[in-house]
């Protein structure tokens, strides 16, 4: 989050979007890492109940913006801060969820408007920021397109406190929206047969104002650009060129992440990690799976000279670029919408807590009445009964002795991947026998069983890691067996 007032950067994320004809099973996938500025940022996974009350006002703990809310609301999943009132971390930051109408929202991907644009449309100190977006939008929308329009009107009225990218999806479409300045924004529909990657910089390129079915934009944006002479191109309307940045920081912090993701999905394309022209939208050389998205969001320039934990890499290259998976990743999510699945089983929220390089993504159906206890409750003290703390501990021990533990960690992750995929099929098949009126209750219980198994297995793995770690103390020496 790039900020006004005294906000410190909340999340610097990586986004992956996959259209239904680009995925291996016809699913729509929108995914993002939430990377926090603190090493510890406890997150919980909850179900927000539908609140149908008149005259409700949302007030942000972060910026103070007050927004009247509609009377009619839908229930939705959320991954908020465990302690939203903490001084360093004020605000809910719901981040990601799917509502009961099978609309998915992930917010936000921090982006940065350039100095020219911000001179004429500065950020609004008490405007809308990342902490609020999920809670003021997701309960009230019936489609991805409606979500863009709904948030766009709020931004035009109340202003944006920071530059943000927002991911929307439903059972038919994906939309990606960028707000780089105080009141202006655009959104693009991701083609069904394509994927897209956004790495903390304005990514949307050409806007075709003659195609409103594929592009959306703020009122008066063309006039704003023309009036202030903001377009550096001789023809066309390239949003990235007009509103975005192409700085040295981008080439260290941002563009290399897009380069690596596209290197993985399109290895035949030759690009530089410091190129300013890496395309936002791309067609993969194969169909994309949930596991592919997991790999990208868990990556750290694997098998390249830039891997910070790679063997034999120079110290310069190890720290040259900002990676995708970080020790300060608070959580990562893949929101999967399955248009071909039976009714009530369309939405799945794959959730990883902590450092994605070392921890698994666990699937939870979203048509539920509650979330598993270990995921929705948090203690200030470290406890392996809390999912967040358990997975943070896994990451800590694996990274501390990575060369020793990497093979066992990969085996654990593969086991969890297979388990997760098998559980989705098992639950989907079993649900065929469940009456519609009992489906949410059934899925709630199945999510509980999933969490129970994962935590039991992960505690066993943590015990193995800890016991093995004791062998590698630096306060050690080869001892004489006769002593």
Where in the chain are the domains?
Answer: 14-357, 372-474
Tens-digit pLDDT profile for residues 11-40: 679 999 999 999 999 999 999 999 988 889
* pLDDT value for 8: 42
- In tens, the pLDDT along 309-336 reads 998 899 999 999 999 999 999 999 999 9
Return mean pLDDT, the chain.
Answer: 96
CB atoms within 10 A of CB 252: 15
13 is catalytic: yes
- Looking at residue 90, its pLDDT comes to 80
Identify the active-site residue in 3, 7, 13, 358. 13
pLDDT in tens, 392-447: 999 999 999 999 999 999 999 999 999 999 999 999 999 999 999 999 999 999 99
> How would residue 7 be classed by pLDDT, with cut points 50, 70 and 90?
very low
- Predicted confidence band at 10 (pLDDT cuts at 50, 70, 90)? low
Residue 311 has what pLDDT? 87
Tell me the percentage of the chain whose pLDDT exceeds 70.
97
What's the Cα-to-Cα distance from 207 to each of 21, 194, 239, 349, 457, rounded to whole Å?
23, 17, 7, 31, 49
450 or 90, which is more confident: 450
The CATH architecture of the domain made up of 14-357 is 4-Layer Sandwich (3.60)
């Amino acid at each position: 989050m790039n900020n006004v007032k005294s906000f410190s950067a909340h999340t610097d994320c990586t986004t992956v979007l996959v259209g239904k004809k680009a995925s291996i099973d016809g699913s729509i996938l929108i995914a993002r890492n939430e990377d926090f500025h603190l090493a510890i940022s406890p997150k919980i996974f909850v179900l927000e109940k539908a609140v149908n009350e008149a005259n409700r006002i949302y007030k942000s703990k972060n910026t103070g913006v007050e927004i009247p809310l509609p009377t009619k609301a839908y229930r939705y999943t959320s991954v908020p801060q465990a302690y939203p009132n903490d001084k360093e971390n004020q605000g809910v930051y719901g981040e990601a969820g799917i509502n009961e109408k099978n609309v998915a929202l992930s917010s936000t991907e921090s982006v940065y408007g350039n100095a020219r644009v911000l001179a004429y449309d500065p950020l609004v100190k008490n405007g809308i920021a990342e902490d609020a977006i999920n809670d003021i939008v997701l309960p009230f929308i019936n489609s991805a397109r409606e979500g863009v329009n709904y948030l766009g009107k709020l931004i035009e009225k109340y202003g944006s406190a920071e530059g943000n990218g927002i991911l929307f999806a439903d059972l038919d479409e994906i939309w990606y929206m960028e707000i780089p300045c105080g009141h202006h924004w655009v959104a693009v529909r991701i083609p069904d047969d394509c994927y897209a990657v956004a790495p903390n910089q304005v990514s949307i390129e050409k806007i075709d104002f003659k195609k409103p079915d594929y592009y959306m934009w703020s009122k008066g944006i063309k006039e704003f650009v023309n009036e202030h002479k903001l377009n550096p191109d001789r023809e066309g309307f390239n949003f990235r060129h007009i509103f975005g940045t192409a700085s040295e920081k981008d080439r260290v912090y941002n563009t290399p992440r897009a380069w690596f993701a596209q290197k993985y999905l399109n290895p035949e394309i030759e690009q530089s990690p410091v190129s300013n022209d890496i395309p936002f939208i791309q067609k993969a050389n194969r169909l994309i799976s949930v596991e592919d998205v997991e790999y990208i969001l868990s990556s750290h320039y694997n098998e390249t000279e830039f891997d910070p934990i790679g063997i034999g890499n120079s110290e310069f290259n190890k720290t040259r670029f900002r990676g995708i998976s970080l020790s300060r990743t608070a959580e990562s999510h893949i929101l999967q919408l399955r248009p071909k699945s039976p009714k009530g089983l369309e939405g799945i929220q794959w959730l990883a807590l902590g450092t994605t390089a070392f921890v698994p993504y666990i699937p939870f159906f979203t048509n539920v009445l509650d979330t598993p206890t270990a995921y929705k409750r948090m203690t200030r003290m470290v406890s392996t009964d809390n999912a967040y703390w358990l997975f943070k501990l896994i990451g800590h021990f694996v990274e501390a002795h990575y060369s020793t533990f990497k093979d066992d960690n990969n085996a654990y992750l593969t086991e969890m991947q297979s388990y997760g995929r098998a559980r989705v099929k098992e639950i989907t098949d079993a649900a065929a026998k469940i009456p519609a009126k009992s489906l949410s209750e059934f899925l709630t219980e199945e999510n509980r069983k999933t969490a129970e198994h994962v935590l039991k297995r992960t505690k066993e793995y943590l015990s193995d890691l800890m016991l093995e770690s004791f062998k590698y103390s630096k306060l050690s020496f080869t001892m004489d067996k006769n002593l």
